[in-house]
Structure 1
Amino acid sequence: MKDQITHYPDYTGSSVAKQKFKITNWRNYNKALINRGSITFWLDDEAIQAWYESATPASRGRPQRYSDLAITTILVIKRVFRLTLRAAQGFIDSIFALMDVPLRCPDYTSVSKRAKSVNVSFKTPTRGEISHLVIDSTGLKVFGEGEWKVKKHGKDRSRIWRKLHLTVDASRHEIICADLSLNNVTDAEASPGLIRQTHRKIRSVAADGAYDTQRCHDELPRKKISALSRPEKVRVTGPVIMQTVTVQWLISE
């Protein structure tokens, strides 16, 4: 029996059969599955260089040891990873240890006091109806194999690629949701998952011809998107050449 892998189970009521893909390179496939659990995290060089306060205090009293940028960095990490102040302190200290950087995270009590004086700008996520949603994908090249692996086995000539699938609010230029997949996952396969992640009313969705498949058609009623116009082909005929222009398809309510 041939080795096969199945992507996306067949949904109830869907007329599209399961799509099966043959694995031709088990070595790269297994390595890709292992790398799903790898973690890459770093701090910006600007934050590292300006971690400690260097400016001369303008008033009397004990000078501040840590800069406003350091406090802001800690508060951002706390917010993004949903950590407590104590957990954020331990997290950043461990990052400094891994990076071999001679820095220390401020005590959580100091961060709590300084948090009232620094201005951390977080963009509030928009709510409500999305008038126009755009779906697309791009390729990402994976770097960083690990020092031990490179030392023992050398650097691989072939690089691993990932696909980043995005939905963007066209009017606000805001990324609504994103999904990272293996390179062999097509745009049409990832599209239903992206639409289901968007828990908001959508008036229209635009994408290129790669999404004009039965799988995408079947997903539209779930979000109450009623119509899908197929790509329009316009033929320009001349005495010598014939040109075909494909217009992007548009899902409209």
Structure 2
Amino acid sequence: MPHKFNADRRDKIPKQKHRVNNWTEYNEGLRRRGDLTVWISEEALALWSAPPRTTPGGQPVYSDLAIELCLTFGMVFKQPLRQTQGLMRSIAGLLGMDIAVPDFSTLSRRGNGLSLSARTASKSPKPLKLVVDSTGLKIFGEGEWLEEKHQTKRNRRSWRKLHLGLDLVSGQIVCSDLTRDDVGDPTALPGLLDQVDGPLDLFLADGAYDGERTYVVLTARFGSMIKVTIPPPKNAILSPDTARNPGIRDRHIADIRTHGRMAWQKASGYNQRSRGETLMGRWKTVIGPKLKARSFENQKTEARIGVRILNRMTELGRPNFERTA
């Protein structure tokens, strides 16, 4: 049914209007996202070569930081590995840097299980407000064209599942994971929570995370005072122990039955989950809807670097909105 089918009977709610009150700083932050000096520094150049190896085996030429920097440039400017090699070679020549640039085969080989440089953890005393969501990313392989052109069935589904956790306070991605398409959202949740460093007082997710398993994991890790907002399905039923010890899910079901789903969304703050969907759209716009790497381990490295890129762009400047109407 089109959403305007019963428009004459819908409540006429005027659309909110907002404006950015730090436009000068935010505008400069947007410019800096394309600034090469943001992505390369003297510290990175000083650590370009790999440290001497103390165990038996060949001596690597490039450090993990050098490989990470090259792959980051390739993702920011959407270049394949060969073009990334040429881009880094030209940058080194323009800046007068006497450094060796890894070739495309080295970037592919070293990207398998690459250890990323440690990032400084946020020291904010405020507890995290976590929004978790997932989306599909296409990968190289047999796709829709083969199925349509030759009327053949695809041997496998050509996509991976990206799980992201966004902190509503800082706007940073605090946890991420890339899994195969057969891994469900509740199954990937414990791995995401292992990456959360600090207290958590709010957890927002869509109905795919609904279930007793999710509530047990969250309360076991962050205590019974955590606020969990997950919409139960329309046919959800109360637990047998509701009368004596109602759980978080039971209270959600009772509120929806009493006040309606729309009122529950507004009262519980569930509408803030839209920022998780915005994050997914931002990923597919800035990073892209497709993974370039062929192997699964290289794809996981690509996803981790993509998280670093989005977080770095967020650090350069965020808009501050104020409501005007």
By the TM > 0.5 criterion, same fold? no
Give the TM interval when normalised to the shorter protein. Answer: 0.3 to 0.5
Larger Rg computed on CA atoms:
1
Flag the structure with higher helix content: 2
Q: Kindly indicate whether structure 1 or structure 2 has the higher relative contact order, using CA contacts under 8 Å at least 6 residues apart.
A: 2
Report the TM-score when normalising by structure 2. Answer: 0.36
Structure number having the greater strand percentage: 1
How does the TM-score come out when normalised to structure 1? 0.45
